[in-house]
Amino acid sequence: MVREKGGFWIWVAAAIVYPMAGVLGKRRTVHGERVPATGSALLVMNHVSHLDPCYDAVFVHSHGRVPHFLAKHSLWNVPVMGAILRGAKQIPVYRGTTDAQQSLRAAHEALANGQVVVIYPEGTITRDPDGWPMASRTGVARLALEHDGPVIPVARWGTREIYDGYHKKFRPLPRKTVETRLGEPVDLSAYREQPETIALLRDVTDLLMGEVKHLLADIRGEQAPEGFHTSANTKRDED
């Protein structure tokens, strides 16, 4: 496999996350070949644990690409982590501030430059008690519609069984399996021909997260619920 060059800070990040992921759980990937070897791709993923970025970074990097995550800007203020995030050219997300649109601009630029962008459209770890996706923000639809590269739904399950952040439960033993499953790229050509409206963005967002939810149901061997979990903290149409 020819690996995309990431530079010094990607090497530093890999030296941290590969051992961490290996110690905390076993990894299993289904249809990893759907990550394109070159060119841009938008990976749309669910979010169930603070460990997700660790496993998702290893998953993308192990398939020869450098992941570029949209992550909370407050992480850039954490010693060492902030330096790694800046050096590895990750994308800070400024929710509810005048800089909010800058997050999408940076993600657009990354895609335009042929990079792989990983996005968690829910914006935070799901508050659904059973771990199913919440109603998501529509920024993912804007990214998906304005670029021609593949938009790939991806579900991952197993990280919450290792660390459940909401309930402060850390259970590394017995060792769990974290499975990542990729779907086929979603055909959005019909939507790209329509005027961009809030309703259209909502439809595309729900379509993409619906694909993620179905992949998650396959991993779990369960029937996915109808619709998406909502809570007082969920702002559905926020970027």
Could you tell me which residues are beta bridge partners of residue 156?
180
**So what's the pLDDT on residue 173?**
94
**Around Cβ 182, how many Cβ atoms within 10 Å?**
22
In a domain, 55, yes or no: yes
**So what's the pLDDT on residue 98?**
53
Are 47 and 198 a contacting pair, CB within 8 Å? no
pLDDT band at 193 (very low <50, low <70, confident <90, very high): confident
Residues composing the chain? 239
Are 216 and 157 a contacting pair, CB within 8 Å? yes
In a domain, 236, yes or no: no
Structural domain range at position 209 = 31-220
For 102-131, the pLDDT digits (tens) are 668 889 999 999 999 999 999 999 999 999
**So what's the pLDDT on residue 101?**
65
What are the DSSP E strand ranges found in the chain?
25-30, 41-45, 67-72, 91-93, 116-119, 151-157, 163-164, 169-170, 176-182
In a domain, 235, yes or no: no
Residue listed under structure tokens 């005048």: 98
The rounded distance, in Å, linking the Cα atoms of 77 and 227 is 36
In a domain, 173, yes or no: yes
How many domains would you assign to the chain?
Answer: 1
In a domain, 199, yes or no: yes
Q: What is the CATH number of the domain that holds 94?
A: 3.40.1130.10
In a domain, 169, yes or no: yes
Q: Across the chain, what does the average pLDDT equal? A: 91
For 152-180, the pLDDT digits (tens) are 999 999 999 999 988 899 999 999 999 99
Q: How far apart are the first and last CA of the chain?
A: 36
In a domain, 18, yes or no: no
Section 141-154 average pLDDT:
95
**So what's the pLDDT on residue 104?**
81
In a domain, 8, yes or no: no
The rounded distance, in Å, linking the Cα atoms of 50 and 224 is 23
Are 142 and 107 a contacting pair, CB within 8 Å? no
pLDDT band at 239 (very low <50, low <70, confident <90, very high): very low
**So what's the pLDDT on residue 236?**
45
Are 202 and 138 a contacting pair, CB within 8 Å? yes
The torsion angles phi and psi of 77, rounded to 5 degrees, stand at -95, -5
Are 68 and 110 a contacting pair, CB within 8 Å? yes
Q: Is the pTM of this model over 0.85?
A: yes
Do the bridges between strand 163-164 and strand 169-170 make them parallel or antiparallel, or are there none, so unpaired? antiparallel
